[in-house]
Amino acid sequence: MTLGSRKRRRTVLIALATAGVFALTACNGGSGSGGAGATSSGVIVQDSTVTVGEQDEPPSWNIYAQSGTGSGNSQWGNIFDALLDWNYDKKEYDPYLATSWESSADLKTWTFHLRQGVKFSDGTPFTVDDVLFSFDRMKNHPDSLMASHFAHVTKMEAPDQSTVVLHLDTPIASFLSDIEGRMIVSKHAYDTMGEDKANHAMIGTGPFKLESWVEGQQMTLVRNDNFWGDKPSVQKLVLKVIPDDAARLAALKSGEVQIIRELPSQDIPTVKNTPGVKVVTNPGVRILFMPFNPTIKPYDDPRVREAISKAIDVHTIVDGVFDGTVTEMKGPMPDFIPGADPSWKGHVYDPEAAKALVQEIGGGQPVKITFTSATGNYPGDTQVNQVVVEQLKAVGFDVQFDSPDFAVLSANQSKGKVGFYLITKGGYQDAGAVYTQYWLAGQSKRTMWDDPALNDVLTKQAAEPDTTKREALLKDAGNMLVDQDAAIWFGTYENLWATADNIKWQPNAGEWINGTDIDVLQK
């Protein structure tokens, strides 16, 4: 997960020991266009209240029991801090609770130097024990969905009160991508309150602290006066749950909220022609795709995966459903991400070949498959689901469509219990982070993929400090995924938001709302 950059007293941009981690080359920028008569004075209102219309809310009070969604990050990322985080604009890591870091020459030992003088929102000091405690919870707590990021961490230690050292069992050149955005909780809170009360107290070091959370309705955050960085001009940040797209837009137009997430593309003209509100956009990196789990039948049969792939018209779906707000991918990575292969030609749609394969597999009978998607979780997913099911049925598949809540899908996916599903992946800096998380055996159970040749290439790229050689290995890995029909890739989302005209704010590619970046201007 990527939190985005915050305004801080100290702007120290550290680029130490990022060996083998490539920089993004085309994911920044952004734009805003307002309705008729949009005006503001440019004077910042101090101690303001901003209400955000969110699609959903975190699935649990345990901040590690989620894999990282944009709305969830808006809650947690304003309350807690990570050691470091990727800055999409600057193409490097920003220091947060760590001020610097370095790796050993063999890339198996990573050392983090902690920021001093930081306090939690309850006034207790931030220490090395909090980092070790938090990382241990991420790695070992039974409800954690972040354990895969610590799969190769064999030992965690603090040689002194300002240093944390992580030891790995294998070289990982991109290990910072596993650490970035992993938020630190207060060990003192858990020791004194117990797990349940500490989860609900949400004691963090971030710019805001929890005032209240009425589940299913809204979370209210207030400014944390103990925050170590620059204090936000916003005094209160209200994150209001409005799942329905039309209702969120209506709330913005009425003034009930000042920012809304996930503006449907068809509503862009409405916002542009409505006085007092504006569209705010920026290019995103979140991939929409459908992976297979070959340990679940019939997806162990490569002919089934090939038939499903050929049955789905990716180009028509991207063009017809998303109206220019998703950029079609030619392979497993967007072309601006290091590790993408420029020779990729794009998805092959061939329904006649798919029909022939289904006939062959089923001996003239329909082939039963299950397609799973948490409808309403991603922009356009309802329409995508409908078209995918129709196109699969058209070539002879007997399709069962399952639509659990996203929390259920996420939990089952992380346990290797879903065979073919629609999902997204964001918050990455290069192809290695995505390929490793989904297709390196033993890293996670998202696909349960276990191909010896692919494992070898992904293991080698992780240990390769030379960026050119590592990129070549990632291209090889991507081509293996294409050849094996490991997934069906649609494209990357453009981030679409709408705000009141007097909101000064530019979203980040990490998709979350950072309260320190928001200013309310006098009208």
The pair of three-digit structure tokens given for residue 114, joined into one six-digit string: 């902690």
CA distances from 346 to 308, 317, 330 (A): 16, 14, 4
Residue 67: what pLDDT?
Answer: 65
**What is the rounded distance in angstroms from the CA atom of residue 250 to the CA atom of residue 264?**
13
- Cα–Cα dist 395/318, whole Å: 20
Residue 237 lies in a domain: no
Determine the average pLDDT of the residues in 1-5. 45
What are the backbone angles phi and psi of residue 117, rounded to the nearest 5°? 80, 10
Rounded to the nearest 10 degrees, the angle between the axes of helix 452-462 and helix 467-483 is 160
Positive or negative torsion for Cα 372, 76, 494, 438: negative
* Amino acid 301: pLDDT: 98
Model confidence at 10: pLDDT above 80 = no
- For 287, the 3-state DSSP assignment is strand
* Single pTM value for the model: 0.75
> What is the CB-side half-sphere exposure of residue 418 using CA atoms within 13 A?
25
Dihedral (Cα; 392, 488, 419, 476), 10-degree rounding: 150
Residue-wise pLDDT tens digits, 450-508: 999 999 999 999 889 888 999 999 999 999 999 999 999 999 998 889 999 999 998 87
Percent of the chain with pLDDT over 90: 71
Residue 36 has pLDDT above 60, yes or no: no
Question: CA angle, 61 as apex, 244 and 72 as ends, to 5°?
Answer: 45
* Cα–Cα distance, 359 to 151 (Å, whole number): 42
- Structure tokens belonging to residue 268: 């862009």
At 142-160, the pLDDT tens digits run 999 899 889 999 999 999 9
CA-wise closest residue to 6 among 222, 149, 208? 208
User: Tens digit of pLDDT for each residue in 162-210?
Assistant: 999 999 999 998 899 899 989 999 999 999 999 999 999 999 999 999 9
Q: What is the pLDDT of residues 310-326, one digit of tens each?
A: 999 999 999 999 888 89
Crossing angle for the helix pair 302-311 and 351-362, nearest 10 degrees? 150
- Domain assignment present for 317: yes
Average pLDDT of span 278-301: 94
Give the strand pairing for 92-95 and 98-103.
unpaired
29 — pLDDT class (breaks 50, 70, 90): very low
Over residues 269-274, the mean pLDDT reads 95
Q: What is the dihedral angle through the alpha carbons of 304, 309, 310, 316, rounded to the nearest 10 degrees?
A: 150
pLDDT tier, 430 (very low <50, low <70, confident <90, very high otherwise): confident
Residue 15 lies in a domain: no
Q: How far apart are CA 31 and CA 506, in angstroms?
A: 8
Q: In the 8-state DSSP scheme, what is residue 294?
A: T
The whole-chain average pLDDT of the chain stands at 89
- Give me 8's structure tokens: 């801080």
pLDDT digits (tens, 9 = 90+) for 345-372: 999 999 999 999 999 999 999 999 999 9
DSSP character string of 233-296: SEEEEEEEE--SHHHHHHHHHHTS-SEESS--GGGHHHHHTSTTEEEEEEEEEEEEEEEB-TTS
How many residues would you count in the chain? 523
φ/ψ of 423, rounded to 5, equals: -150, 170
Distance, CA of 197 to chain centre: 27
The CATH number of whichever domain residue 325 belongs to comes to: 3.10.105.10
DSSP 3-state of 402 = strand
- At residue 449, the pLDDT reads 97
Which of the four pLDDT bands, split at 50, 70 and 90, describes residue 35?
A: low
Instruction: Please check whether residue 446 lies inside any domain of the structure.
Output: yes
- Kindly tell me the sign of the dihedral angle through the C-alpha atoms of 141, 144, 149, 152: positive
pLDDT at 23 over 70: no
Percent of the chain clearing pLDDT 70 (strictly above):
91
Identify the weakest region by mean pLDDT among 249-258, 272-281, 330-339, 495-504.
330-339
pLDDT of residue 13: 30
Q: Is residue 211 part of a domain?
A: no
- Contact indicator for 177, 434 with CB cutoff of 8 Å: no
* 5 within some domain: no
Total number of domains in the chain: 1
**Mean local confidence (pLDDT), 32-43:** 63
- Mean per-residue pLDDT for 426-455? 92
Q: Which residues make Cβ contacts (< 8 Å) with residue 441, sequence separation at least 6?
A: 449, 450, 451, 455
- Rounded to a whole number, what is the distance in angstroms from the first to the last CA of the chain? 35
Give the integer Cα–Cα distance in Å for 306 and 357: 8
Model pLDDT, residue 19: 35
Q: Per residue in 72-103, pLDDT tens?
A: 567 888 999 999 998 877 778 999 999 999 99
Q: How far is residue 481's CA from residue 292's CA, in Å, rounded to a whole number?
A: 11
Distance from C-alpha of 222 to C-alpha of 209, rounded to nearest angstrom:
5
| Enclosing domain of residue 323 | 284-493
237-253 average pLDDT score: 95
Confidence at residue 56, expressed as pLDDT on a 0 to 100 scale? 84
CA dihedral 49, 55, 60, 64 (to 10 degrees): -90
